Each structure stands twice: as C-alpha cells, then as structure tokens.
Structure 1
Amino acid sequence: MVAAAGALLDSRRYAMTPPDAPLSRRGPLLLILFAALMAGTGNGISIVVFPWLVLQRTGSALDASIVAMAGTLPLLAATLIAGAAVDYLGRRRVSMISDTLSALSVVAVPVLALMFGADVVNVAVLAVLAALGALFDPAGMTARETMLPEAAARAGWSLDRANSYFEAVFNLAYIVGPGIGGLLIATLGGVNTMWVTAATFVLSIAAISVLRLEGAGIPDRSALTGSVWAGILEGLRFVWHNRVLRTLAVVDLVATGLYMPMESVLFPKYFTDRDEPAQLGWVLMALSIGGLVGALGYAVMAKLMKRRTVMLIAVITLGAAMTVIAFLPPLPVILVLCALVGFVYGPIAPIYNYVMQTRAPAHLRGRVVGVMGSLAYAAGPLGLILAGPLADGAGLHVTFLALSLPMLALGVVAVFLPALRDLDTQPAAPDATAGSGIP
C-alpha cells in the first residue's frame, strides 16, 4: 500500500507505460537496492576490521570500546544533519557524496600504513577514521531510504514489499560483509582489507550516479524551512508530536544502547581472545542471515500478524537470547541464538520505515528519518562506555547479563505502551507531492 497521494499518481502514470517496459519501471528500485547492498557490505567489513585491528594491537576491550564509541558518537548529530541534507540538497546527490567520503575514510587506513608504516595505524588513528566513517554513512543510508516510496510506486510495488526487500538487502550486506572481512583478515591482513571496503562504496556511487527518479534530484526550495537548523527543529517537532513515532524512537534508543555493545565489543573481545577471526565473522553472519529471512518474510507476516505483535516478540526474544548467550555456550549454540535474534528482529526495520514513510510528507521525509535514526543512536555511546570497562573488569558473562536483563524488562514495558497500538491503524495520507524535486 502506498499511502502518499503523489506516489499513487506516479504508480498510475507508470502503469500506463507499454507492456514491454516493466524492467525500466523497476530500474530505479533495483539501483537503490544494489547501492544499499554495496554500501552495507563495506560497513559490514568495517564492523569486523576496526575492532580487530585495535584488539590485535592492544588486546584491550576498553580500547575496542573507544574505537566503537568513536564510530557511534558522531551518529547522533550526523544523522540529524543527514536528514536535513537529504531534504535540502537532494537525495541522489547526498547519497553519492556520502559514499565518496566513506570510501576515503576507510582507504586512509592502508594509505597511511603504506606512507608511514603500520605502526602509525594506532588506536587514536583508528578512532578518528571510525568517527569520520560514522559521520558520513548516515547521509547515504537516509538518502536511499527516502527514495523508496517513489521507486516502489514506479515499480508498482507496495510499500511493505519495497521496505521488506530493502531491509533484506541490508541484512544480506551484513552477511557478505563480515564474512568477507573475516576471510580477508585471515588472508590479506586487517589493513589491506580496507581496500576492498573502499571498492564497495565506489560501486554504490556508480549505481546511484545513473539513477533517475522523481524526487531524487534538486528539491523544491519553496516547500522548505528557511535555514537548515530551522529545518532540523521542524523534523524534531514533527516526531515529538506524533505519538507512535515518539514511542518508537524511545524504544529503539533503549534497545540499540543495550544491543550495540554485544556486536561491537563483546563478540569481538571473545573471539579475539581465542584468536578466531573467522568465527567472529560467522556469528555476525548468523545475525544477518536471520535478519535476511525475517526481513524477507515481513511482507507475509504483515498479512498474518499485527505489527505490534511482531515488535513485542522481537524485543522479548532478543532479551531472552542475549541472556542465554551470557553463559557463553558452544559456538553452534551461539550461532543458532544469533540467527533467531536476527529472524525476529528482521521485520522491525521495515515497520519503522513504513511508519516514517506514511506519517511524514515528502518534503520532510529526510528529516524525520534523520531524527528517528539519531535518537536510535543516542544510547549507543553510553552502552559502549559501560560495556568495555565492565568486560575487562568483571568478565564477559557479567557484561552480557548487564545488557540482556534490561532488554527483557524493555519487552515487558513495551507490552503496556498504548502508542504501539497505532502501528496497526491506518494513517492519514501525508502530502507527498510537496518538495518533490525533478532529477
């Protein structure tokens, strides 16, 4: 279902094109999906390489937390600014600029090593480069996500289906990325693996450079607030005054803060201590395989279950699985639990996307996505600050429990949040035609 009126008009117009043109109608959507796959793969590789390089040099979970936090702290402000940049500069342009800067931030690792020696790539340098990568990535992700309604309309897809495939591609990237990262670390070394990371961003740039889509080009300035900062405040006010968006933002903020240290610090610490880089890649791949299946199955789930039910199952299952993982069972058990976590959590991002896309008008879509993303990242630094020292001092078992038990409590609290019932109500159609730039 495409809720926006402008997107419906686009769908009807393209439905009248000749029968031999279906591939051309799907072209923009396929390009967006390919770009998301390539950029996501690059980020998936980075998730393995950055902490591995740090832990290989110092063996300290605290140092790994510092680098992980450096890759998280900029996300709060960067995602806010990214949303405004998308609305004010144009979606296609911002996607390409973002991927260019992301490529430069990762290719700097091998370049510095070649110019000044491997010793120069220390914790401080890696923290700075991780921060730069985090600063640029949200803009590309936001730009691609905000192009989905128009691309789905042209392809004749429902918004649920487009979001399902988009998030499935995202999870596929995090299957391919960590797996490639683990294998390349074992063969080429961590520093040289960054060349592959940069190449994935270049492929994403190439795909978006040939994209032609309504609303992807230069925006209509008449629909925008005068200054960028005023525009950001407009997005914040919109989210705050929308009950379901506000509640989803808080739930995601807490869940992200509790979950992120497990993937960014605890698993890397556990497998680095055991000198098992490939196994770390397998665990992250298991999370993404489950997420891929869950995201692909979302379009079917939406017909059988309420969105609220799907979300509650996800949060409660995540807390329960993390609690079992806290006892550090054998690797096959960890892999099964990670696949389960990915599966139940896979549909959550399509639900978030659907709510944002159907509640926000087109000219405000980037800022709403930016606000929601930035709030989701806000708790990440706090979780990482606590998890690193706690893992070094009290051990991984205690740290896992310190994260999993609050996650269980979040699931219980979510059951009693009335705003989540709005996930299954039909929203009023926003004005999707305002602010649509012609590419």
Structure 2
Amino acid sequence: MAVQTQRIPARKRRPGGRLAVLGERDFTWFFLGYATSLVGSSMAPVAVAFAVLDGEGGSGGAGGDSGGGTALGWVMAARILPVVLVLLAGGVIADRLGSRRVMLGSDLLRGLVQALFAGLLAAGHAPVWAMVALVALWGIGEGLFMPAFGAIVPDLVRRKELMADANTLLGLARSVSTVVGPATAGLVTAAWGPATVLLVDAATYGVGAFALARLRRPLRAAAGGGESMIRDVRAGWSEFTSRPWLWITTVQMGLFNLLVWAPFLVLGPLLAQRDLGGARAWGLVMGGYGAGAVLGGLLLLGRTPARPLAVASVAALAWALPSGVLAAGAGLPWVVAGALVAGAGSAVCGTLYNTTTQKWVPVELLGRMTAFGVLGSFALGPLGLAAAGPLAGRFGADAVLLLGAVWQLAAGAVVLAVPAVRNRRWEEGPDS
C-alpha cells in the first residue's frame, strides 16, 4: 500500500498536472501580465539602440556623435548602473511594503517612462541627455522590480508543491521572450520606427500592472517600518551570510558571470566572425541557447528533484560547453549543440535556485535575500565585459574562453562538494 500511495500522485501529475499551477487564479493572472510585459521589455533595447544609432536623439550629443557608439555606451550604462544601485533598497522596500505594491509601482513607472520616450522620439526632440535620464528611470524601476519579483511567487501559489512549476513557467516566459521580442522589435522598428516599439512596451507594462491589480488573494505585507533602511540592509546581510547554501551559490554565479559568461558574450561574436561565418553563425548559436532554455524548462515542468541544489549545480556545469567548444576550434554544429545544452542547463539551474530560495527563506526576508543574490550574481559582470577584449588581446581569445570553461567545471565540483549544497533536500522547511 505504501508504494501505491506514493505512485498515484506522481501519475496524476504527469498527464494533466504539469500545468496544474495555472489553476491558481492569482498566479495565472500574474503569469499572463508578466509574460506580456516581458515581450515588451525584450523589444525595447533594440528600439533604444536604433534610436541612438540612427540619430533620433537630435542634436543633444557631444561633438556631433549623438548617434554613434559613444552615445550608445552612455545610454546603455545609464540603464544598468541604477539597477545595481537600487537593488538593495528595492529588497528592503519589498519586505516592508509587500511585493505586489512595489511591482505595481515599478510597472507604472516603467510604462510612463517608455511612453514619454516614445513621445520624444515621435516629436523629434530626444537629445542624448534626455535619453540617458529616461533609461536611468527605467533602470530604477527594474532595480525595484527584481527583488519584489523574487519574493512574490510564494504569495501566489497556495499549493507549495507547485512552486517549482510556477518558476518553470516564468522561466519559460523569459526564454521565449528573448527570442520573440528582439525579432519582433527589428521588424517593427524597420517598418514604423523605434517610437512605435517603445509605445508597445509602455502598453505591455500597463498589462502587467492591470494583472497585478486583479490579484484577489490577500498578499503578505511585511510588518515594516520601525528600523532604518540601513539597519534593514545590515540585518538582511546577516541573514544572507548565515545560509551557506545561499551565499556559496551566489558567489559561484558572480564568478561565472565574470569569468565565463561575460567573455563568451564578448569574444563569441569575434570567433564567430573569424572562424564560423559571421553574424549569421552567431545568431544560430544564440538561437540554440534560447531553444535549449525553452527545452530545459519543458523538461523540468512537473518535476521536483529530491536534492534541487545538487541538480542545479550539475546543470550549471553545462555552461562550460559553449566556451569550451569555441576555444577548441570546433565547427558551427558543435558550438550550436553546446549552446543548446547550456541553455537547457541554465533553465534548470535558474528555476531550481529560485524555487529553493522561495521555499527555504522565510517570507519576510525574501525581498532582501533576492536583492543580495541578484547583486552578488551580476555585480562583476560589467567588469568581465570590459576586461574580455584586453585579455584576449594579450593572451588570445581561445585562451580566455578555455580558462572560463575550466573554471566552470572546477567551481561546479567545489560547490557540489559542500554538504550544505549537495545534501540539502527539498522536503526541508524554511531556515529559521
């Protein structure tokens, strides 16, 4: 009888249960709004880039280069820097006010920014300084949104065994948007100009805000307020560092972005141009990565490993493949195959990390824990992007990519050797 009772639930989940999480009304509303806004968000960078490069900014640039690479660099940096600066404050605010309020405000802010941006472009009065200011506000909205997003899923899913499926579907939405969004943006920009794309993005943020407003279930709001924000950040840091499984995996991801992913993004196109046939080849490689991420999400849907962090750490080893095959001088089919496997690994790794954090961290700390995790994971990425070219010039692009691949395998082995990562089981409850 004991064996029977264990098998029946598993059998029920396989045919119709993999999408059972869509039976959770609040999650379904949130998923639809988030997926819609993701498509707009993935379209917008294409429009912004062409707005700058095509000289849509008018005469506001310095030295007549408002439409050139220098101006584009300023605009891109103006979006990223506020995200990093606001993340920790966003985590505190999410824990104090509740995730839905913060995300609703972020969607409204970003939608307003994109509508203003579209209006300026359509009117032909968008100097570079104005674009920098607008994308900085956009970045502030994103920095507030990210920690709140990491904390909201437990509030939306009543059946906690479905949290992994919820995160898998959200990851699938991200993967699909990275393929659909840029392609759509290119077509729309070519036909009607970047202002139209930004107006569409503003509308998708409106859809996201509408979905958040439609949520019925009373969501958790932290009992915030008494302590200063700095004390809340310090308290959050103390809680973060007290969880070895959390800070160790965050350090691993931070060094991965520095040593593996950033060099791959910079040097991959260079080697594709040199050895594989140029931009078309690189498009196939990144398309393979996106397809792998979708495939990995579909394979994970309806499954919860007994030791999720161990499985996530094994999946993360796949990130060594694209850099390794490029460094080895393999042909295009092998590079695309490596990217496909890495994409699948990224979907599995990201979903399991998000789910375990939401399950094992007390809800009143989730905003700050997410903020520290995101900051630690991505803070070194810009340094890796800046250093990849000079290091390749000194040591060779192949050597830099090979170092990253070896590092990823070695770091994965070290992380798997940590008992707090390897032995932590799904059934364990929140850390106290």
Relative to the length of structure 2, the TM-score reads 0.77
1:310 is matched with 311
1:136 is matched with 141
Distance 1:170 1:397, change over 3 A: same
Give the deviation of 1:24 after TM superposition: 10
Distance 1:314 1:190, change over 3 A: farther
2:199 and 2:149 map into 1 onto residues whose CA distance is: 24
Structure 2: which 5+ runs fail to align?
Answer: 1-19, 56-64
Q: Say whether the 8 Å CA contact 1:64–1:265 is kept in structure 2.
A: no
2:211 and 2:167 map into 1 onto residues whose CA distance is: 19
Q: Supply the AA of the counterpart residue of 1:112.
A: L
1:102 and 1:270 map into 2 onto residues whose CA distance is: 36
2:300 is matched with 298
Structure 1: which 5+ runs fail to align?
Answer: 1-21, 432-439
2:263 and 2:282 map into 1 onto residues whose CA distance is: 12
Larger RCO, structure (CA 8 Å, separation 6 or more): 1
Distance 1:308 1:147, change over 3 A: closer
**RMSD over aligned Cα, in angstroms?**
4.0
Cα deviation 1:230-262 (Å, max 9, x = unaligned): 222221111101111111111121123345536
Alignment of 1:191-270 (within 5 A): 192-216=196-220, 218-221=221-224, 225-258=226-259, 261=262
Q: Say whether the 8 Å CA contact 2:175–2:290 is kept in structure 1.
A: yes
Q: Supply the AA of the counterpart residue of 1:234.
A: A
1:13 is matched with none
Q: Supply the AA of the counterpart residue of 2:291.
A: I
Q: Say whether the 8 Å CA contact 1:61–1:392 is kept in structure 2.
A: no
Give the deviation of 1:318 after TM superposition: 0.8
Give the deviation of 1:294 after TM superposition: 1.3
2:345 is matched with 344
Name which of structure 1's ranges 390-399 and 252-261 shifts more when overlaid on structure 2: 390-399
Alignment of 1:109-124 (within 5 A): 109-117=117-125, 120-121=127-128
2:171 is matched with 167
Q: Say whether the 8 Å CA contact 2:82–2:143 is kept in structure 1.
A: no
Give the deviation of 1:277 after TM superposition: 8.3
1:27 is matched with 25
**Number of residue pairs matched by the alignment:** 402
Distance 1:315 1:353, change over 3 A: closer
1:150 is matched with 155
Q: Secondary structure at the match of 2:430?
A: coil
2:103 is matched with 95
Q: Supply the AA of the counterpart residue of 1:383.
A: G
Alignment of 1:20-59 (within 5 A): 26-50=24-48
Distance 1:242 1:414, change over 3 A: closer
1:421 and 1:332 map into 2 onto residues whose CA distance is: 34
Q: Supply the AA of the counterpart residue of 2:200.
A: V
Give the deviation of 1:76 after TM superposition: 2.7
How many percent of aligned residue pairs carry the same amino acid? 23
Q: 1:76 aligns with which of 71, 75, 84?
A: 84
